[in-house]
Amino acid sequence: MKRFWTALGLAVLGTSTPALAQSCGGTYVVAPGDSLSVIADTLYKDAGKWTAIHQANITAIGENPNAIGVGQSLSINCIDGLPTGLDGAPPVIRATARAPEPRRTASQAKIKLITGDDFAPFTDRGLENGGLLADVVNVAMQAATGADGYDIHWINDWSAHLTPLLTEEMADMSFPWARPDCEGEPDQDRCVNFHYSKPMFEYLILLFVDKDRPVVFAQDSDLEGRNLCRPEAYTTHMLDQNGRNWVRDGKVTLKRPRTVAGCFEMLAEGQVDAVVLNEFTGRAAIKELGMQDRVDVVQGRPISITGLHVMISKSNPEADRFLATVNDGLERIQASGEYQSIVNAHMSRIWADF
């Protein structure tokens, strides 16, 4: 099965001590009259970056971006050199020295992880270090196993990742994947047959609308009767989660063109009221299509908050150990500050492109 593997040409990064200090980003304390848009305008000089603040504080804020209170501390990522002067600015940690504590023994084969291109900003070999999550996984696995304990391979046929590559153990784990609502729908195939790591990154699923036809979304009932668009290859579990059952009960009409561009074309032609996409894919498409002056993000709230995970087949006899290794690596780089440094570096480049 060697034909499946294409080596990942990423530098192995990591450290146990800060490489240099930075004074960008930090902690902001919410003041009277603040909203995420006001804070973004003040700190980033761009009110539209309210979603960046929301994403960085998902655990504290939850799904409602208006759920912030005076005196609350918010983590502010460094984006394109802003903001400066805040307390608690994190160090940059990207040196190359590490003394890992491997979980594997010399007799154990390398853990084989697979990913693919065309999932910007998370995985794509055209991006810095292969994208945000290729970078995170690489550094986390280096922390947990050492450089010789794992390989990352690029397989661009995403549909083949889970079956047959994982189910037939031609690969051990694949990333990044969204975890379905396994609590609400435990019978879904991806819940029945696969295990998930802790989330490596959480992001917002947003509504993109025509500026001339604004949509209010403060509560689930606001979208009932609307026409929504989401490309056919994208999962739709967030449209039915938590009892909203928009698609399952026919409360919305869902259009499913083959491409992201197809959704935005339908929006421009008035065939749909909103496009449902993650923040980064949506903003990148708007720029590529030259629709920045035509399309806006609904300000009320996101459709959902989605985590991205490493997946492994439950049939893999090493499933528990391999997932424990991934989670151990993530915990190590989060504790050391490396994780936040990686996120800051990628977020700065991502937002500069928008």
CATH for 209: 3.40.190.10
Show the domain range for 48: 26-76
Is it the case that residue 256 has pLDDT exceeding 80? yes
pLDDT (tens digit per residue) in 42-53: 999 998 899 999
* 60 & 126 share domain: no
Residue 98's pLDDT is what?
Answer: 47
Residues 7, 147: one domain? Answer: yes
CA angle 182, 138, 129 (to 5 degrees): 110
At residue 171 the predicted structure's pLDDT band, cuts being 50, 70 and 90, is: very high
Tens of pLDDT, residues 70-95: 999 999 988 888 899 999 876 655 54
Residue 108 belongs to a domain: yes
Say whether both 38 and 128 belong to one domain.
Answer: no
Residue 303 pLDDT class (50, 70, 90 cuts): very high
**pLDDT at residue 19 in the model:** 40
Q: Is residue 65 part of a domain?
A: yes
For residue 266, CA distances in Å to 145, 208, 214, 217, 270 come to 48, 12, 15, 20, 6
pLDDT at 93 (0 to 100): 57
| Same domain, yes or no: 247 and 292 | yes
Q: Are residues 30 and 10 in the same domain?
A: no
Mean pLDDT comparison of 95-104, 201-210, 344-353, highest-scoring range: 201-210
Distance CA 39, CA 46 (A): 9
- What is the model's pLDDT at position 89? 76
What is the structure's pLDDT at 59?
86
- Reported as a pLDDT band with limits 50, 70 and 90, residue 6 is very low
Q: Would residue 196 count as lying in a domain?
A: no
On whether both 35 and 163 belong to a single domain, the answer is: no
Tell me, yes or no, whether 324 lies in a domain. yes
Taking residues 1-22, report their average pLDDT.
38
For residues 125 and 144, membership in a common domain is answered with yes
**pLDDT at residue number 342:** 93
Mean pLDDT confidence for 4-9: 37
CA nearest neighbour of 180 among 265, 238, 230: 238
The reply to whether 254 and 323 lie within a common domain is no
148 and 112, same domain (yes or no) = yes
Residue 183 lies in a domain: no
Each residue's pLDDT tens digit, 56-65: 998 899 888 8
Geometric angle at alpha carbon 338, from 333 and 344, rounded to 5°? 130
Does one domain contain both 241 and 300?
Answer: yes
**Can you say whether the dihedral through the CA atoms of 307, 310, 316, 317 is positive or negative?**
negative
Asked if 330 contacts 339 with a C-beta cutoff of 8 angstroms, the reply is yes
CATH of the domain at 43: 3.10.350.10
| Residue 99 pLDDT exceeds 60 | no
Residues 151, 291: one domain? no
Indicate the number of domains in the chain. 3
Q: Is the pLDDT of residue 183 over 90?
A: no
Q: Which of 60, 76, 92 is where one domain is finished?
A: 76
Q: Is residue 46 part of a domain?
A: yes
Residue 96 has pLDDT above 70, yes or no: no
136 and 6 fall within a common domain: yes
Asked, for residue 297, whether it belongs to a domain, the answer is: yes
Amino acid 91: pLDDT: 65
pLDDT for 122-164, tens place per residue?
A: 999 999 999 999 999 999 999 999 999 999 999 999 889 999 9
Does 94 fall in a domain? no
